[in-house]
Amino acid sequence: MELSHKTRLQDFKTINPDKFKLIVNGREGLSGEETLRIGSYNALLKSSLPKEFQYYKADEETFESSHDAFRSALPRGFAWEVLSVYSGPPVISFKFRHWGFFEGPFKGHAPTEEKVEFYGFGVLKVDESLRAEDVEVYYDPAELFGGLLKGALISPCQSEDNTVNTATATRGCPFSK
pLDDT value of position 157: 59
Average pLDDT score, the chain: 87
pLDDT of residue 94: 99
pLDDT of residue 31: 95
pLDDT score of 177: 44
Q: Is 107 exposed, middle or buried (0-12, 13-18, 19+ CB in 10 A)?
A: middle
Is residue 66's pLDDT more than 80?
A: yes
List, in sequence order, the alpha helices (H) in the chain: 2-5, 32-38, 40-45, 63-73, 141-148, 166-169
Q: Which of 16, 4, 1, 11 is nearest to 131 (CA)?
A: 16
Query: How many whole angstroms separate alpha carbon 134 and alpha carbon 85?
Result: 17
- Looking at domain 2-169, its CATH class is alpha beta
Q: How far apart are CA 113 and CA 126, in angstroms?
A: 38
- List all residues 6 or more positions away from 169 whose beta carbon is below 8 Å from its beta carbon: 105, 154, 155, 156, 157
> CB 9: neighbour CB atoms within 10 A?
18
- The pLDDT of residue 19 is above 50: yes
Residue 163 has pLDDT above 70, yes or no: no
Please say if the pLDDT value at position 175 is more than 80: no
Domain spans of the chain, in order of start: 2-169
Of 101-105, 133-137, 152-156, the poorest mean pLDDT is in 152-156
Asked whether the predicted pLDDT for residue 129 surpasses 60, the reply is yes
- The answer to whether 4 and 22 are in contact (CB under 8 A) is no
Do the beta carbons of residue 103 and residue 90 sit within 8 Å?
A: no
pLDDT at 158: 38
Are the C-beta atoms of residues 170 and 111 closer than 8 Å to each other? Answer: yes
Read off the pLDDT band of 28 (50, 70, 90): very high
- Does the pLDDT of residue 172 top 60, yes or no? no
Q: Do the beta carbons of residue 79 and residue 113 sit within 8 Å?
A: no
Percent of the chain surpassing pLDDT 90? 73
